[in-house]
Structure 1
């Protein structure tokens, strides 16, 4: 969805022309979706996988252009920060074993990138929501990937935010930031599902409701800039990085990065119309082909697609000139393994389809405010979150997220059957999620336990040195602020290297054990 542009600077005339094209685009889209041939193809699934590049010591490696060049993999694109890549996986038919197919593509991509490591000082690609070893110095304008789209976004945001903004990291921490490069701290597994026009607005609403429990079971971003935070701290980091906020006294803007403005009502194009109506234009590049005159079966609508790529809802409507509409599920984190990501996608997609079946519209069953609250509670508390869920014939009920996911797994299986996903495929994916929520062992859980183990080891080393055992005091075990920072940095680097090794081994995360560590002074 992050379409490239050819320019960095734009004029008021560009903005006016672009806004006019957006109005025309909606008119053209209304005509297209009334054609019985539009959206008639069998459903497909696709995905985008955002990756972090790390040095052998676990710290970020700002070499995305060189790594992409070395792999010669056309599916790879350069993400906003120089230590990120994105893999655009080939869409697959929803029938049969689509999640296994997407996992295989993700595995192949990771293998291909990591095979180039000897040419880049051992750099590796890691699927993780938020890289624990990142520091504020890694997220300045110097980290921005050198592409016109990112420079244009940086320029647009600099006009909208005349002062540095606060980036939430950890439970109560804030870091001052000035660049959209902070988005490098938020890597996602973005799943795409084609949806027939007559189902679209109800499926979009269903996706909004389904995202809360799916996110609760998928957390993998608990250490933003190395500080303990939400189970999915990637969510507030991303929203603040691309949030609309002006200079003091300029008035509040509607947030264009977030859960979305409300339930979609009024037909298949309501989500597209809301995105155009509510948000001003960031990248007003008018394209040479437009409307129904484009050289393809369906209108190109490049301006509409470009505008939508700058509206960062966690579920986003997508128009494709190949003749279909899609829902882009953007809330799931990258990692820990391709199999874990496939299971997360299967649960979210299956539950969405179940909640859409039989003419159902969840907008009639739950206030939007509760669905939105579910999302942020899930991001904060993971399987222990308290989530609201519709209860037929009575008021919505509150559930512990882990128990709710367990109850919803059979519903997700029904939804996958509606999509003609094979029964064995559904069982494999949803059983994996079952084991994860029963044990509580998400990627976030593993990272938190690993950090605790490393901190205990550091404390034990310091105590041994203080007792005068004759062992030399390990670096970073004294109580000075500088040494504490060095110790934290080394522990986070070791955690990241250990995570990367387990991710490469590809066993599902609920089977991972925190590192068994002996004191450094004994090693």
Structure 2
């Protein structure tokens, strides 16, 4: 999805040629996906983890590109924000002990980043929004000085034709305007990729759309932005609004779907319709063409690169999205993008294990549930989960043809645990492996202590002692980093009392 480009200025003719190439790509994609045997193979999963870099004062420090360049590893890449950095893992088989294998990859790569950062007087923080951010941290200089990110920022600004408006309700509502999309860099995530055969894609994707909300409710890790207490996963609101390319138009009752959003409806047939939707609804931002004859390649039985389609689709940031990967014989994946960064590797992998198990358990019967579960309810669940965490009231289907019911996220998650474990076991995940990570998730839910809850309670304790908000946030983040280093999952972290320092 992160295809590199070497230019950031484009002509009108470039956009016209790119749009024509997109249509050819879509035709070639349909040909490839209809080919018997395409994309079949072992079910695998992989991950991406974005993190922040901070200095000795727990403030963001813009050395992400420097560290990525020094490490020179394809597994370590810069992000849109110069104070962000991303690590990736190789895909592993879902059967066996996948989460332990991913954990070791993530641990080793994160340690390499940590050592590079330490040599520059910096530290690495896995948290989905840095609590110590200040308004002055976001400006055009925030954006990593690479052609891809310069072009993304310029393209969003060109299409927006107005300042970016961020408005978030919460305990301490926030409203501000920005002339650039630099606040996209305020958000980091833990993303999971699930390989999906074309004939199973629709069922798996729709199950993912249903399961994302309850898992997000137990995963929130960004309750504070610019000193304001907002949502349990404020990243959802910030990211959507910071990159909203739709011009404000008070004279129309209809607006096209946001470039960053939950989606527009259930998948009816397969992955191709989601790629078609992104082309139809969203203007190109990076119109860089290649010279591949995609139609000739597809007709000859080859696996086309579909450079233009992959590049364009990588600029449409739905919370779950399809990935076409031409590597080897080619395959499809579902990129699960809603989970936050942090707090610990075990917390993140526990989130991923529950989400994957839930998807696999729900997928076989999901088509029977959809007629009585409108897509709007899944979208509502998603935003309620982001805002209210484990206390969110979600709506959940009860049986095919039966009306859905309201249920608190915490109760829903605990009731789903047996099915989730069965989903993992049926996919070949080792029983002890599944139980290890699901137990971490279960204990967090039962105790009601997510990363967001811990941050809010710790901030309250720091302020009760008399620390001003900025200093209380710094102390809270220092404590957070120390707890991450302990390796204990967040539900086991101590929540300091009023006498904490």
- Find the counterpart in structure 2 of residue 385 from structure 1: 392
* Equivalenced residues, count: 492
| CA displacement at 1:173 relative to structure 2 | 1.1
Of 258, 263, 278, which aligns to 2:261? 258
1:519 and 1:346, CA in 2 relative to 1: closer, same or farther beyond 3 A? closer
Tell me the residue number matched to 2:192: 191
1:449 aligns with 2:475: no
Q: Which residue number in structure 2 is paired with residue 367 of structure 1?
A: 374
SS at match of 2:339: coil
For the 8 Å contact 2:461–2:499, the answer to whether it is kept is no
Q: Is the 8 A contact 2:458 2:495 kept in 1?
A: yes
Q: CA RMSD in A?
A: 1.9
Relative to structure 2, which stretch is displaced further, 147-156 or 159-168? Answer: 159-168
Whether the 8 Å CA contact 1:54–1:126 is kept in 2: the answer is yes
- Name the CA shift for 1:394/1:139 in 2 (closer, same or farther; >3 Å): same
Equivalent positions of 1:486-497 (< 5 A) are 487-497=468-478
Give the conservation status (yes or no) of the 8 Å contact 2:94–2:428. yes
Match of 2:6 in 1: 6
**What residue in structure 1 maps to residue 20 of structure 2?**
20
Structure 1 length-normalised TM: 0.90
Please state if 1:85 is matched with 2:69: no
Q: Which residue of 2 aligns with 1:289?
A: 292
CA displacement at 1:430 relative to structure 2: 1.0
Q: Identify the residue that residue 45 of structure 2 maps to in structure 1.
A: 45
The SS at the match of 2:195 is strand
Q: By how many angstroms is 1:72 displaced?
A: 3.9
Q: Could you say which residue in structure 2 is the equivalent of 1:208?
A: 209
In structure 2, distance between residues paired with 1:149 and 1:116: 24
Deviation at 1:362, TM superposition (A): 4.2
Inter-CA distance 108–271: structure 2 relative to 1 (3 Å threshold): same
Q: Secondary structure at the match of 1:313?
A: coil
Q: How does 1:58-77 map to 2 (within 5 A)?
A: 58-77=58-77
Using the TM superposition, give the Cα deviation of residue 248 of structure 1 relative to its aligned residue in structure 2, in angstroms: 4.9
Q: 1:20 to 1:74 in 2, by over 3 A?
A: same
CA shift for structure 1 position 267: 3.5
Measure, in 2, the Cα distance between the counterparts of 1:118 and 1:374. Answer: 41
CA distance in 2, matches of 1:507, 1:361: 40
Contact 2:160 2:244 in 1 (8 A): no
Query: 8 Å contact 2:164–2:181 — kept in the other structure?
Result: no
Choose 1 or 2 for highest CA Rg.
1
Q: Which residue of 1 aligns with 2:179?
A: 178
Residues 26-62 of structure 1: per-residue CA shift (max 9 Å, x gap):
1111121222331111011011101000112211111
- Residue by residue, what CA displacement relative to the aligned partner does 1:383-440 show, whole Å, maximum 9, x if unpaired? 0000011111521011000000001111111221232111111111111111010000
Distance 1:145 1:313 in 2: 22
Instruction: Measure, in 2, the Cα distance between the counterparts of 1:107 and 1:73.
Output: 15
Task: Report deviation, 1:116.
Answer: 2.6
For 1:221, the equivalent position in structure 2 comes to 222
Residue in structure 1 matched with residue 304 of structure 2 by the alignment: 299
- SS, match of residue 199 in structure 2: helix
Runs of 4+ aligned structure 1 residues displaced above 4 Å come to 247-251, 292-297
Superposed CA offset, 1:312-371 (max 9, x none): 100011100021111000000000001111010111111111111257454334111111
Whether the 8 Å CA contact 1:455–1:491 is kept in 2: the answer is yes
Contact 1:103 1:341 in 2 (8 A): no
Report matched runs for 1:158-169 at 5 Å. Answer: 158-168=157-167
Residue segments in structure 1 that go unaligned for 5+ positions in a row:
460-486
Other-structure match for 2:110: 110
Give the direction of change, closer, same or farther, for the CA distance of 1:250–1:136 in structure 2 (3 Å limit).
Answer: farther
Asked if the contact 2:256/2:281 (under 8 Å) is kept, the reply is no
Does the C-alpha gap of structure 1 residues 505 and 169 become closer, same or farther in structure 2, counting only changes over 3 Å? Answer: farther
TM normalised by structure 2 equals 0.94
Q: Is the 8 A contact 1:42 1:93 kept in 2?
A: yes
| Change in 2 beyond 3 A, CA 1:400/1:40 | same
Q: Summarize the alignment of residues 80-479 of structure 1 with structure 2, pairs less than 5 Å apart.
A: 80-121=80-121, 123-168=122-167, 171=170, 172-248=173-249, 252-291=255-294, 298-322=303-327, 323-357=330-364, 360=367, 362-392=369-399, 393-458=401-466
- Of residues 339-348 and 497-506 in structure 1, the stretch that sits farther from structure 2 once superposed is 497-506
- The more displaced of 79-88 and 98-107 is 98-107
- SS of corresponding position for 2:119: helix
